[in-house]
Amino acid sequence: MKEIEQLQTRINEALKQLTLPESPSNLYDPIKYILELGGKRVRPMLALLSYKLYKEDIEPAVVPALALEVFHNFTLVHDDIMDEAPLRRGKETVHKKWNENIAILSGDVMLVEAYKLLGKAPKEVLPKLLEKFNACAQEVCEGQQKDMDFESRPYVSVDEYLDMIRQKTAVLLGFSLEMGAILAGAPDKDCELLYEAGVNLGIAFQLQDDLLDLYGGEAFGKQVGGDIINKKKSFLITKALELSETKDSLLQLYNSSNTKSDEKVGKVKQVFEELDLEAKTQRFIKKFENLGQDKIEQINCQNKEGLTTLLHSLRTRTY
């Protein structure tokens, strides 16, 4: 765990050293704000731990790895606008603290900054990294569009939902692990295995997020039951509709705008509990965790302890 803390400290130090212009303040202050809200820095940490499977000195990988964190936060700024989310990590979202137009433009600049950071990678691997990053970024956008499209559909299958979160969330975790290996000059097969490991673990990560949205409490840093309040498709509701014998009444309740938020969350949660959805979701999480772990075990490297520790902490998190 000490190694994880040291890497997190190094990433935070590097983020503080990013030089952003002071003016116009309404463009750059929101970027500083969202990056200073913290977070676990999972994506750059995955890249550095992947890099460490092959090379001990992480410094050549630190700055390119920051591109992952800046890109991730760019997606959060724009996602929060689309979701009309009031909180992010327990604080006001950028569009609430400033306004939507400022949040959109600041997010755009964050994407530019991500490319600038990625451009600091060694020239011999930069073309490959750019190709992989562009494909990943496009899939993230495709996943977000599917997520928004789902909001206007009364029914989304479990398979459709899993495909959406694979694109929206999991491919970036996959690329994070792949990126570290590419930077370290790892064999192509290892890069592929690490990407596949990250995608499977990313799906598990998002399913855990879906659970925590309802069962994580205020410590999760978001509205409790925010997915239900905002009528968002989550694994819980897609699985519930697959299992429920009263789909119509569940859909009517879930899509209701007239019921008070607390009352709506309570009623939907009761249905979920009757269907034993928490336990069923945990089984799906375990399935994808095992798939990801299997890929990591196929890599012929000795220094896997740090990566395994981080992945375990993500699997067992409660917020």
The CATH number covering residue 173 comes to: 1.10.600.10
Model pLDDT, residue 302: 78
The reported pLDDT for the residue numbered 184 is 97
Name the token pair of 23: 């003016």
CA distance 30 to 10: 22
List the chain pLDDT tens, one digit each, 319 residues.
Answer: 788 899 999 999 999 999 999 999 999 999 999 999 988 899 999 999 999 999 999 999 999 999 999 999 999 999 999 988 888 888 999 999 999 999 999 999 999 999 999 999 999 999 999 999 999 999 999 999 999 999 888 889 999 999 999 999 999 999 999 999 999 999 999 999 999 999 999 999 999 999 999 987 655 455 688 889 888 899 999 999 999 999 999 999 998 888 899 999 999 999 999 999 999 999 999 999 999 999 999 998 878 888 888 877 777 776 5
Residue-level pLDDT at 304:
87
Report d(CA 115, CA 196) in Å as an integer: 23
Can you name the residues that pair with 88 across neighbouring β-strands?
A: 91
Report the alpha-carbon distance of residue 4 to residue 64 in Å, rounded.
18
Q: Looking at residue 208, what is its pLDDT?
A: 93
CA–CA distance from 209 to each of 62, 150, 205 (Å)? 27, 18, 6
pTM for the whole thing?
A: 0.92
- Looking at residue 305, what is its pLDDT? 84
Looking at residue 126, what is its pLDDT? Answer: 98
What one-character-per-residue DSSP string does the chain give?
A: -HHHHHHHHHHHHHHHT----SSSHHHHHHHHHHHHT----HHHHHHHHHHHTT-S--HHHHHHHHHHHHHHHHHHHHHHHHHT-SEETTEE-HHHHS-HHHHHHHHHHHHHHHHHHHTTS-TTTHHHHHHHHHHHHHHHHHHHHHHHHHHT-S---HHHHHHHHIIIIIHHHHHHHHHHHHHTT--HHHHHHHHHHHHHHHHHHHHHHHHHHHHS-GGGSS-TTHHHHTT---HHHHHHHHH-S-HHHHHHHHT-SSS-HHHHHHHHHHHHHHTTHHHHHHHHHHHHHHHHHHHHHTS--S--HHHHHHHHHHHT---
pLDDT at 222: 59
Number of structural domains found in the chain: 1
Q: Are 77 and 107 in contact (CB under 8 A)?
A: yes
pLDDT of residue 1: 72
Domain with 135 in it: 2-315
Which residues are CB-neighbours of 93 under 8 A, at least 6 positions away? 77, 80, 81, 85, 86, 87, 103
User: Residue 197: its pLDDT value, please?
Assistant: 96
Are 8 and 41 in contact by the 8 Å Cβ rule? The answer is yes
